[in-house]
């Protein structure tokens, strides 16, 4: 993990604004933070170079593109060796429908977020791909009924 860099008030403002609108122009961003465009761009580049800003992307409405089912899947592995974890993560990363994979503490070793067209497609994905990964001991699926909060923005300390 990289050593955190010191952020001043303007850096924090820039990060808060960019989390809400990654497509804002540099000129508008400069106006909102009270700087001229050149120093604003310099600050954004510094935040990108230090890895604080990792990417810019579009957030899609999954249902609008035909993905009607989202689930969380708790996964427990048979063993907890480095080799087993590496093999599992390598295989799970090849499955496009697995949009998140988190290595966790507690009763599950991993929590996956999985999307699919519908329940039959989800069932097929589980039976033919995910549960076929040899390192897996147990899985538990939790279908997401509704999402009350889904923000990618994090509070800036």
With beta carbons less than 8 A apart as the criterion, state whether 53 and 18 touch. yes
Within a domain: 155 = no
Within a domain: 149 = no
Within a domain: 153 = no
Total domain count for the chain? 2
Q: 31 and 72 in one domain?
A: no
> Stretch 101-124: mean pLDDT, rounded?
97
CA distance 90 to 98: 12
Supply the pTM of this predicted model: 0.83
Neighbours of 127 (CB within 10 A): 10
Res 113: pLDDT: 97
* Residue % of the chain over a pLDDT of 90: 85
CA distance 133 to 139: 11
Which residues constitute the domain of residue 97? 63-143
Residue 41 sits in a domain whose CATH number is: 1.10.10.10
Q: Provide the pairing of β-strand 98-103 with 69-77.
A: unpaired
Strand partners, 116: 69
Q: 40 and 102 in one domain?
A: no
Question: For 77, phi and psi rounded to 5 degrees?
Answer: -90, 160
Q: 87 and 129 in one domain?
A: yes
- Residue among 114, 117, 111, 105 nearest 144 (CA): 114
Look up residue 126 and give its DSSP letter.
I
Res 29: pLDDT: 96
- Residue among 137, 14, 126, 154 nearest 69 (CA): 126
Res 154: pLDDT: 84
> Stretch 129-134: mean pLDDT, rounded?
96
Per-residue pLDDT band for 2 (boundaries 50, 70, 90) equals low
Within a domain: 123 = yes
CA distance 105 to 94: 23
pLDDT score of 58 more than 90 = no
Q: 69 and 139 in one domain?
A: yes
Q: 67 and 27 in one domain?
A: no
Q: 89 and 33 in one domain?
A: no
Residue 75 sits in a domain whose CATH number is: 3.30.70.920
Per-residue pLDDT band for 4 (boundaries 50, 70, 90) equals confident
């Amino acid at each position: 993990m990289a050593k955190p860099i010191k952020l001043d008030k303007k850096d924090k403002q820039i990060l808060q604004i960019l989390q809400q609108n990654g497509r804002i122009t540099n000129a508008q961003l400069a106006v909102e933070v009270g700087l001229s465009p050149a120093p604003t761009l310099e600050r954004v580049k510094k935040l990108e170079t230090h890895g604080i800003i990792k990417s810019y992307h579009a957030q899609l409405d999954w249902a609008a593109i035909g993905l009607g089912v989202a689930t969380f899947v708790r996964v427990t592995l048979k063993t907890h060796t480095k080799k087993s974890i590496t093999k599992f993560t390598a295989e799970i990363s090849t499955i496009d429908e697995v949009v998140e994979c988190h290595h966790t503490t507690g009763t599950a070793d991993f929590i996956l977020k999985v999307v699919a067209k519908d329940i039959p497609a989800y069932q097929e994905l589980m039976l033919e791909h995910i549960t076929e990964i040899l390192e897996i001991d147990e899985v538990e699926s939790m279908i997401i009924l509704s999402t009350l909060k889904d923000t990618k923005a994090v509070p800036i300390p």
